[in-house]
């Protein structure tokens, strides 16, 4: 936790005069655990969380998802000096892209390009709307090996036949491309994939999974602790450059 009484008041002072706005899918649930651990107070952030939010869109060939409309409404009256954090991609990498491969016989590489293009389009829209400080986060890796065993998935999602390795590779490829574009745009990027994946099993570590074997979410406490560390790294002020008081 950040000590509010510490002489290192930079991060908290900055947040008092701004806001943190979090937009994304239901994997933002882990951030509800992370934010207090990182030192954020309840009034310092707002969350727009949409279950199964996908940039690709499943029923619209133009790739426009209803989530975008919800994000626009949420941001309409928000302070343009706020930091906007985006957590998206799990539904795209775990379901939407594979759905289109199966339904339309379209190459997965084409789907990935469409998703990244949609993500960049959202970022540029945010910038045009006056939001300059944007943080991009890596999509959460798949947790369940066989989608058919997932108890919380809709029927369409349980029908995905891509292997765990294929879905994991797609997620990591997505995150690498996203990180490269964020760097080119001068945006900050954070990701917990490397901490989640066990190098021996090439899967999400057991201790980071939900206790429910049919649940595709990460353990909220474990994931929250990892995201909290990344958030502290984003917002803490480097005092090494400051002159001694």
Per-residue pLDDT tens over the stretch 81-117: 999 999 999 989 988 898 888 888 989 999 999 999 9
Domain assignment present for 239: no
CATH of the domain at 143: 3.40.50.1110
Count the domains in the chain. Answer: 1
Domain assignment present for 1: no
Tens digit of each residue's pLDDT (9 = 90 or more) over 172-213 = 999 999 999 999 999 999 999 999 999 999 999 999 988 777
Domain assignment present for 240: no
Domain assignment present for 169: yes
In angstroms, the CA 132 to CA 84 distance is 8
pLDDT at 216: 77
Comparison of pLDDT for 113 and 153, the residue scoring more: 113
pLDDT at 212: 79
List the one residue out of 152, 140, 106 whose CA is nearest residue 24. 140
Q: How far is the first Cα of the chain from the last one, in angstroms, to the nearest whole number?
A: 24
Domain assignment present for 163: yes
pLDDT at 77: 93
pLDDT at 241: 35
For residue 199, the enclosing domain spans: 10-234
- The answer to which of 29-33, 60-64, 98-102, 126-130 has the lowest mean pLDDT is 60-64
Q: 133: Cβ–Cβ under 8 A, 6 or more apart, which residues?
A: 81, 82, 83, 84
- The two three-digit tokens of residue 231, written as one number: 């958030």
Q: 208: Cβ–Cβ under 8 A, 6 or more apart, which residues?
A: 196, 218, 219, 222, 223, 226
Domain assignment present for 141: yes
Report percent pLDDT > 70 for the chain. 79
pTM of the model: 0.84
How many C-beta atoms lie closer than 10 Å to residue 239's C-beta?
11
């Amino acid at each position: 936790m950040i000590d509010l009484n510490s002489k290192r008041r930079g991060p908290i002072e900055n947040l008092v005069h701004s806001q943190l706005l979090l937009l994304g899918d239901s994997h933002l649930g882990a951030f509800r655990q992370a934010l207090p651990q990182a030192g954020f107070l309840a009034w310092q952030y707002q969350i727009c969380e949409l279950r199964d939010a996908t940039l690709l869109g499943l029923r619209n060939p133009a790739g426009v998802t209803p989530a975008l409309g919800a994000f626009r409404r949420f941001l309409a009256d928000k302070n343009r000096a706020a930091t906007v954090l985006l957590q998206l991609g799990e539904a795209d990498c775990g379901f939407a892209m594979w759905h289109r491969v199966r339904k339309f016989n379209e190459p997965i590489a084409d789907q990935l390009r469409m998703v990244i293009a949609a993500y960049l389009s959202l970022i540029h829209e945010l910038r045009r709307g006056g939001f300059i400080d944007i943080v991009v986060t890596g999509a959460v890796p798949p947790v369940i090996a066989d989608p058919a065993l997932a108890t919380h998935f809709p029927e369409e999602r349980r029908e995905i036949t891509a292997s765990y390795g294929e879905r994991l590779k797609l997620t990591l490829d997505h995150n690498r491309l996203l990180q490269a574009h964020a760097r080119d745009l001068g945006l900050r990027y954070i990701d917990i994939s490397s901490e989640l994946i066990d190098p021996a099993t090439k899967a999400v570590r057991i201790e980071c999974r939900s206790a429910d074997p049919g649940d595709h979410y990460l353990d909220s406490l474990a994931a929250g602790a990892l995201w909290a560390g990344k958030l502290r790294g984003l917002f803490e002020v480097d005092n090494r450059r400051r002159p001694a008081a």
